[in-house]
Chain A
């Protein structure tokens, strides 16, 4: 079904596969830049991933303008400012972000500071407030989940003021996303599982939420198929390059899908659980996804039923009568979750994720204040959110 109106925007060049990193110098040349600043975090350095990235520049004759490896797990305004200063000091002309969600968001934040010559990032909070593009940003993701390499959003905290600021702007999009199998090989099983479920949630929600459109649908379907076929393998057999690559691609596809068609209540609940009780985002997605899908069956059951095709495969889809498909799809996601639990102990309930029961009301309140569920097909009010949380608790 074609929406009456939609927008889709994804100009990110994707460089994916064996020795993809080695193409970064060429991509820089294409972008007309030659002195990057590398933004990453300690985890990446310790895992030896940075060495591989830097190794890709050997014999290219390029010089890194600066290397910043102190990104904290939550990106912060102060860090963005620091990076911007480093960038100016060393006369860099582009940014390479290596890592998970945090270094990428931080790089985007630093980009805003640089582009707008901003003193205070707060002025640019909200949707589409930038007026100038950020410096060319090349992203090398080391997890397969957030899809930050193709999204135009960033969440940056201001610890001094104790707030989290969300920025969205098409001018913030990275120019190149580099997916190299070496980057995700060392990801621990549990994080692989959680980030994989995160990507799955992006794709599922992108597929059934309000602003779905033919282009995001295609991305979402592709992502779900890759995830349902490869996530378990990637968790059980971490050195399997093919599965790892599939997951990296799936995360990118899902990211492109949901950043254009937006996500729904699962994200609201997930953001809230993360905000109130520090439940890791991917884990929260994994816990809430089946409940969110079930909740929407009444409104968009047929659309959710279509997800059975990539989730269960053609045979399963063909043999399940149309009316049963959405329920079967939810079951398969529950089964995947159970399998992940068996394989690496990924919690399935809020209780196991360490959320105290008293906090549920607070999470519910935060969830309905979160923007994501505006795009959810079914309305969710405070009572609904509370019920959902209680159902997901045990």
Chain B
């Protein structure tokens, strides 16, 4: 078997309209600047796509990008990234997925796959080390994701597929690979609009080897040790999955209940990972390879199904006033089969329920009732009846029917299951996250609520930490590895370990500048250097994160994003919650100004020319 030492640097660019391909060689400097996966994907799109392209038109590109860690066997490296312009938000969106497609793409010798144009009939791509074949997908079109994957996947061969939702251009349709998803931003509709049902990658042609194997093994050993010893990654998530967040969110009062009208619910434990683990007798069901193993499967209604993730039980559960995990699992299955993002589906349904309550629209859906939800999800996927409206997401619905006050989205992307009123840093994160209300952009609720290292309802130092974690996660997503490794790599290092929480709190809250250099990024950098053979200083590594984040921002501002869009749903800005005795809304503007300053944006949220020059973007 041939070997790739470090990186292959080959990106395949496929034009569906003309059925032609070209090869793009990634330059060493470009890799150092943009790392790979997310960063490189954005850069490829930035170079190729004119502003103003229709997300569902042939000019939109979609890039599938495994990172340098993929295939090396580094812990939690079984993830790949996709970047495109989202039909839900009209701006760029990236999504990370732990499905098997990434590994096959990478071991077929490709460091990236960029698709543009539009096929004139249903097509799927078959990709191996030789290149790509355009195959007729007439018999796959209309198929649910599960059936299509069964047909396409084989040994050393994995696919990304869309379901009926993607084919019907549902604006929050997702893309499936194995049992994992490129969930957010409606990428399924982008593929659907290109008449592209699936992409199959046949890998195994190459073996990926790090340049410096010894150093790589050393880092791998330390990383594994950290992951195993960390509470979150080695215990809570490993045993109970992400749904364990339900307990922590309840405790912190940030669990969304009834379309974010409250932050706590007495029945919260019914949907927690701990309860589900006991109830469904779960076992790991993860990305490959993975060391944390947060994904689980179990026996639900007599069949083996994946256990719903936290965002799913949050948005399709508590946020709809529903705590019946059997039913939530049913909907999770429907969304999976039809290719719908569970977060946006849940967010949209919650809006529909509240708008129904307020008499703006007439549906049978109501909070706390499981009736009609399965039907609604199918109607969305097939755009039947009112589903045709719902398929456009809550922003579109609220601009048509009213109810903007409680349309829980930012820039069109529905909000994930953390209420920012109990976690102000998370609020700033939602407001400024590049793809919309994405919780993972900085994920400050982890620091504020889970680990209590920052005071949730203070604005102090939040802008600094949001910026810090945004850049860090941009790096992590560009390497690419799992974002949860952050808990282990950052908090298991000896410096952090010996300090009690209140010292860390004082340091992070009161002297963020002093705390930031203490954050140990050596594992991420170590993996990068040992695999690629390129040394990267801490400064340059972090700057790459800044660069990637700012590039995405810049691309979005060219599409019309500015301060006006960097906001939160009105409910977050004007309304307190019963669970919060002080009833405080998010003081966003206060944090926004200092955030822009840190990022080198002007007061309107547009990156300043000197910032772009300093980061080498233009």
- Binding partners A and B: yes
Stretch of B214-222, B401-409, B482-490 that contacts chain A: B401-409
Indicate whether B533 reaches chain A with its CB closer than 8 angstroms.
Answer: no
**In the complex, A387→B605 CA distance in Å?**
10
Chain A interface category by residue count: 20 to 34
Q: A327-B570, A383-B603 are in contact. Are A298 and B406 (CB under 8 A)?
A: no
A316-335, CB under 8 A of B: which get 1 and which 0? Answer: 00011101100110111011
A331 to B571, CA, bound (A): 15
- Which of B560, B571, B574 sits near A301, CB closer than 8 Å? B574
Residue contact A323 to B604, C-beta cutoff 8 Å: no
Query: Among the listed B359, B562, B570, which residue makes an inter-chain contact with A387, where contact means beta carbons less than 8 Å apart?
Result: B562
**Per-residue 0/1 for B587-618: is the Cβ within 8 Å of any A Cβ (1 yes, 0 no)?**
00100000000000011100000000000000
Across the interface, A331 reaches (CB within 8 A) one of B403, B563, B589, B604, namely: B403
Asked if B29 is at the interface of the complex by the 8 Å CB criterion, the answer is no
Q: Write out, one digit per residue, whether chain B residues 557-594 have a CB within 8 A of any chain A CB (1) or not (0).
A: 00010111000001101110000000000000100000
Which B residue sits closest to A388, measured CB to CB?
B564
- From 366 to 411 in chain B, residues with beta carbon under 8 angstroms from any chain A beta carbon are 399, 402-406
| Bound form: Cα–Cα A323–B583 in Å | 13
Task: Provide the residues of chain B in CB contact with A323, threshold 8 Å.
Answer: 405, 570-571, 574-575
Q: Which residues of B contact A75 (CB under 8 A)?
A: none
B499 within 8 A of A: no
Within 8 A of B (CB), among A374-389: 381, 383-384, 386-388
- Most chain B beta carbons < 10 A, residue from A387, A390, A391: A387
How many chain B residues touch A (CB < 8 A): the figure is 21
Whether A387 contacts B404 by the Cβ 8 Å rule is no
With A and B bound together, what is the CA distance between A334 and B401 in angstroms?
10
Q: Which residue of A lies closest to B604 (CB)?
A: A383
A331–B564 contact, CB under 8 A? no
- Contact between chains at B564 and A391 (CB < 8 Å): yes
CB contacts (< 8 Å) of A301 on chain B: these are: 574
Within 8 A of A (CB), among B397-433: 399, 402-406
Assess A387 versus B405: contact at CB under 8 Å? Given A301-B574, A327-B570: no
Please provide the chain A residues from 284 to 322 with a CB less than 8 Å away from any CB of chain B in the complex.
297-298, 301, 319-321
Measured between beta carbons, the chain A residues less than 8 angstroms from B573 are 298
How far in angstroms is the closest Cβ of chain A from B537? 36
**How near does chain B come to A166, taking the closest CB pair, in angstroms?**
30
A360 to B570, CA, bound (A): 28
Assembly CA distance A324 to B360 (angstroms): 14
Provide the A28-66 mask, 1 if CB < 8 A to any CB of B, else 0: 000000000000000000000000000000000000000
Q: How far is the CA of A297 from the CA of B404 in the complex (A)?
A: 13
What is the CA–CA distance of A320 and B560 in the complex, to the nearest angstrom? 32
Given contacts A301-B574, A386-B604, contact A331 B358 (CB under 8 A): no
Map CB proximity to B onto A246-269 as digits: 1 under 8 Å, 0 otherwise: 000000000000000000000000
B402 touches A331 (CB 8 A): yes
Report how far A330 CA is from B407 CA in the complex, Å: 14
Residue in contact with A324 in the complex, picked from B399, B406, B563, B564, CB distance below 8 Å: B406
Contact across chains for B603 and A324 when beta carbons are under 8 A apart: no
Instruction: Indicate if the CB atoms of A319 and B358 lie closer than 8 Å.
Output: yes
Closest residue to A331 on the B side, CB-wise? B402
CB-nearest residue of chain A to B589: A298
Tell me the residues in window 321-362 of chain B with beta carbons closer than 8 Å to chain A beta carbons: 358-359
Asked if residues B604 and A335 are in contact (CB atoms below 8 Å), the reply is no
Which residues from chain A contact B359 at a C-beta distance below 8 Å? 319
- In the bound complex, how far is the Cα of B333 from the Cα of A372, in angstroms? 57
- Bound state CA distance, A387 and B563, in angstroms? 8
The 8 Å CB contact of B404, one of A298, A319, A331, A388, is A331
Which residues in A have their C-beta under 8 angstroms from that of B399?
Answer: 334
State in angstroms the CA–CA spacing of A331 and B358 once bound together. Answer: 14
A296 to chain B, nearest CB (A): 13
Given contacts A301-B574, A319-B358, contact A328 B405 (CB under 8 A): yes
B-side contacts of A334, CB under 8 Å: 399
Query: In the complex, A153 Cα to B564 Cα: how many Å?
Result: 34
Q: Which listed residue, A320, A330, A387, touches B564 by the CB 8 Å rule?
A: A387
Q: How far is the CB of B394 from chain A (nearest CB, A)?
A: 14
In angstroms, how far is the closest chain B Cβ from the Cβ of A56?
A: 46
Q: How far is the CB of A174 from chain B (nearest CB, A)?
A: 40
A125 to chain B, nearest CB (A): 34
* B604 and A387 contact, CB distance less than 8 A: yes
Q: Given A383-B603, A387-B564 in contact, is the A324-B405 Cβ separation under 8 Å?
A: yes
Interface of A with B (CB < 8 Å)?
297-298, 301, 319-321, 323-324, 327-328, 330-332, 334-335, 381, 383-384, 386-388, 390-391, 394
Q: Which residues of B come within 8 Å of A, CB atoms?
A: 358-359, 399, 402-406, 560, 562-564, 570-571, 573-575, 589, 602-604
Q: List 5 A-B contacts (CB under 8 A).
A: A327-B570, A383-B603, A386-B604, A387-B564, A388-B564
Q: Which 10 A-B pairs have the closest CB atoms?
A: A327-B405, A324-B405, A331-B402, A383-B604, A323-B574, A323-B575, A387-B564, A327-B570, A387-B562, A327-B404
Given contacts A297-B574, A323-B405, A324-B405, could you give 17 more A-B pairs where the C-beta distance is less than 8 Å? A297-B570, A298-B573, A319-B358, A323-B575, A324-B571, A328-B402, A331-B402, A331-B403, A331-B404, A334-B399, A335-B402, A383-B602, A387-B563, A387-B564, A388-B564, A390-B562, A391-B564
